[in-house]
A and B are shown apart, each in its own frame.
Chain A
Amino acid sequence: MSNLFTISPDFSPDHISGWYIFNTWLQKQTGEAIHLEMYNDFHSQREAIKSDKVDLIYANPFDAAMLVREKGFLPLVKPLGRADEAIIAVNAENTVEDVAHLLPGIRVAVTDDPDVHLMGMIMLEPGDLDANNVNINVCDTYVLVAKHLLRGDADVGIFLAEAYDNLSNMIKSQLKILVRSQISVIHHSLMIGPKLVEKRDKFQSLLVDMSNDAKGKGVLEGLGIDAWVGIEDEEMEFMIDLMDTLNT
């Protein structure tokens, strides 16, 4: 029977074909039949996880707790040097220089990336802002978050730092960063489910070695990843505990 592989719906659109190529590589290397299923949003992906359809996942840190603690997933690898960080930005013409000076009632543009949303809201807390006193506007992409700021339809934007950094210079020149997180231990992870768990070591070593081989390196480039780094169980538990404290 084929295994189902899915990736966190916050993947960059530039890498869609890269993930299909990665899946082909993975099937060839492991000898397992793996079907890649892309979900449009976190909600439908979580439904699939809940009904035990998923066997492999490139997961958002926000979902790691549920995957490990409720669904018996174990970590395989994370991308080298690519922690998830968040940025709080405003229109460059906004006179506010510090989150502490933002006022209740502001309009906050976000995407549905759960980990970035969480980190962003924590960075708004020093301004006495929370979900109860701001207006959240969920956008499909970070480019749309930026556009809302430029048009003045939103006062504050919460960005994945990497997505912000990849905005065009034209857009960035019209925005201003108030805070950039420096957390460095929250990251996406490739995880393996109960059905495949006996093959965990094999999967992990193939993935860790992937960047040492020209073909593998090329496949990784298609994902915008330099190399996979193995994740120890305790590292994953630590990240889950950390996310848990932030979620409070």
Chain B
Amino acid sequence: MLHDMKHDDIVGDYQEITLNLFGNLTRKILYTQIETPYPDGKLIVSTTDPNGVITHVNQAFIEMSGYTKDELLNTPHSILRHPDMPPAAFKDLWDTIQKGNKWQGFVKNLRKDGGYYWVKATVIPNVRNGKVTGYTSVRRKPSRTKVEECIKLYPTLF
């Protein structure tokens, strides 16, 4: 389940905004300007069902997002949706993977504590016996140069 963010969970000064998400969902977001650096040497991994509902997360995912495993499983992946991410990026993601292709891009993700972290994500369809059973995303540490480019580019895509 996707809940509104709670004041008590937030660390530092924050702003408030309501996001419209897929399936007529809305979510109140509280977000700060505090960045958590990507941990060296780790991959952040999650799998979703065909609708983008989380079915698997690894330990690095749990640590970086700040949520517990129980809070993440069976929840739409938009639980990490950051207001600075242009909707066009996710439209491109879904258009690409629904055609059976791989998608790669740089994503700013929202943490439970209102902070954020940048990743380089690769999303692929999981094909089992010829059928798409879900999608897996594997994130790695992005280069700072690429992140700086996205910080300039993304605001122009709204």
Shortest distance from the beta carbon of A66 to any chain B beta carbon, whole Å: 15
Docked Cα-Cα span, A242 to B47, in Å, equals 11
Nearest residue (CB) in A for B56 is A238
Docked Cα-Cα span, A192 to B102, in Å, equals 29
Residues of A within 8 A of B128 (CB): 234, 237
Nearest residue (CB) in B for A126 is B141
- Known pairs A127-B143, A128-B143, A242-B136; A248 contacts B41 (CB<8 A): no
CB pair B40 A245 closer than 8 Å = no
Q: B136 contacts which of A100, A128, A181, A241 (Cβ < 8 Å)?
A: A241
CB pair B120 A245 closer than 8 Å = no
CB pair B41 A179 closer than 8 Å = yes
The yes or no answer to B152 lying at the interface (CB within 8 A) is no
CB pair B120 A183 closer than 8 Å = no
The yes or no answer to B75 lying at the interface (CB within 8 A) is no
Docked Cα-Cα span, A234 to B42, in Å, equals 22
Shortest distance from the beta carbon of B124 to any chain A beta carbon, whole Å: 6
CB pair A246 B41 closer than 8 Å = no
CB pair A245 B138 closer than 8 Å = yes
- Known pairs A128-B143, A242-B138, A244-B124; A182 contacts B104 (CB<8 A): no
Docked Cα-Cα span, A122 to B141, in Å, equals 8
Q: A182 contacts which of B41, B102, B122, B136 (Cβ < 8 Å)?
A: B41
The yes or no answer to A99 lying at the interface (CB within 8 A) is yes
The yes or no answer to B66 lying at the interface (CB within 8 A) is no
CB pair A128 B145 closer than 8 Å = yes
- Interface size, A (range): 20 to 34
The yes or no answer to B140 lying at the interface (CB within 8 A) is yes
Q: B142 contacts which of A126, A183, A244 (Cβ < 8 Å)?
A: A126
Interface hits, A118-151 → B, CB 8 Å:
122-123, 125-128
CB pair A122 B140 closer than 8 Å = yes
Residues of B within 8 A of A183 (CB): 41-43
CB pair B102 A237 closer than 8 Å = no
CB pair A245 B42 closer than 8 Å = no
Residues of B within 8 A of A128 (CB): 143, 145-146
Residues of A within 8 A of B (CB): 99-100, 122-123, 125-128, 179-183, 185, 234, 237-238, 241-242, 244-246, 248
**Can you spell out 29 A-B residue pairs with CB atoms less than 8 angstroms apart?**
A99-B40, A100-B144, A122-B140, A123-B40, A123-B41, A123-B141, A125-B120, A125-B140, A125-B143, A126-B38, A126-B144, A127-B143, A128-B143, A180-B41, A181-B41, A182-B42, A185-B58, A237-B128, A238-B136, A242-B45, A244-B102, A245-B124, A245-B136, A245-B137, A245-B138, A246-B43, A246-B138, A248-B102, A248-B104
Shortest 3 CB-CB contacts between residues of A and residues of B: A245-B122, A245-B138, A126-B141
Residues of B within 8 A of A (CB): 38, 40-43, 45, 47, 58, 60, 102, 104, 120, 122-124, 126, 128, 136-138, 140-146
User: A245-B123, A245-B137 provided; 8 other pairs, C-beta below 8 A?
Assistant: A100-B143, A122-B140, A125-B120, A179-B40, A179-B41, A182-B41, A185-B58, A245-B122
